[in-house]
């Protein structure tokens, strides 16, 4: 099972993308726990949950460098969701991105 955490400003705009990613995972028989949270919930969530990959919504891409430093000793990759995939809510492509990172 792969655990994929999406982070955005309030965790709201990403919820539709989560749904589309879950549908893509189901159709590909990928066992994945995919969820979205607000940026201010990251530390609390990581304290209680192990993740395989952290994806940032394009609107919070500015957090990437600080997250890279803050979580440098963690064993999960951090990346920014492709802006066009995010805008088109392309769950299949974002799932593909996450799975490639989570190897």
Triad 31, 66, 101: Cα angle to 5°: 25
Catalytic residue among 5, 7, 8, 78: 8
Interatomic CA distance for residues 102 and 99, integer angstroms: 5
Q: Answer left, alpha or beta for residue 8, where phi above 0 means left and psi between -120 and 50 means alpha.
A: beta
Are the C-beta atoms of residues 94 and 85 closer than 8 Å to each other?
yes
Query: Is 24 marked active-site?
Result: no
Give rounded-to-5 percent helix, strand, coil for the chain: 50, 20, 30
Active-site residue set: 8
């Amino acid at each position: 099972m792969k655990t994929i955490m999406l982070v955005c400003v309030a965790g709201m705009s990403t919820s539709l993308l989560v749904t589309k990613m879950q549908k893509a995972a189901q159709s590909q028989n990928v066992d994945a726990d995919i969820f979205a949270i607000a940026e201010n919930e990251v530390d609390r969530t990581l304290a209680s949950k192990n993740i395989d990959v952290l994806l940032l919504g394009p609107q919070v891409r500015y957090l990437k460098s600080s997250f890279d430093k803050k979580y440098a000793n963690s064993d999960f990759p951090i990346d920014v969701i492709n802006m066009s995939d995010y805008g088109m809510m392309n769950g299949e492509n974002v799932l593909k991105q996450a799975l490639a990172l989570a190897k």
